[in-house]
Amino acid sequence: MIADWYFDFVSPFAFLQSEQLGTLPQKVSVRYRPVLFAAILEANGQRGPAEIPAKRAFTYRFCLWQAKRLGIPMRFPPEHPFNPLPLLRLAIACDSTAAAVQAIFRFVWRDGRLPDLPKCWG
């Protein structure tokens, strides 16, 4: 069975999901589908949760609580929301393999880093 999983690296919820994909039954094969969440929101006339102060605060607290509850190390990057387009392009250039997607998610959400910030490379 093939399951398509649509994700954007800007989403802390997608990170938490990515860390749990390994618990799916072996008969389920995941096909990774990068999408630009902002484009989906814009097409539907919506703003993202991080753009609405009350939702932003709730989202941050809830995601950190969920991560702790699930035993998933999590650290928000220094900027959020951030432009995920370079990361999405990188995933596509790597054929959106499970290993590449996981490495990118962990770079951002476990290590709390962004590739366009100088301190990431020092």
We report the CATH number of the domain holding residue 113 as: 3.40.30.10
In the block, residue with structure tokens 């649509």: 6
Q: What is the mean pLDDT of each run of 10 residues along the chain (122 residues)?
A: 96 98 94 96 91 92 97 95 94 96 97 72 44
According to the model, what pLDDT value does residue 118 have?
Answer: 52
Q: Decide if 115 contacts 87 (C-beta within 8 A).
A: yes
**What is the number of structural domains in the chain?**
1
Helix (H) or strand (E) holding 3: strand 2-7
Q: Which domain holds residue 93?
A: 2-121
Write down the pTM of the prediction: 0.90
According to the model, what pLDDT value does residue 49 have?
Answer: 87
φ and ψ at 42, to 5 degrees? -60, -40
CA atoms within 13 A on the CB side of 52: 8
Q: Decide if 38 contacts 80 (C-beta within 8 A).
A: no
Number of H helices, E strands in the chain: 5, 2
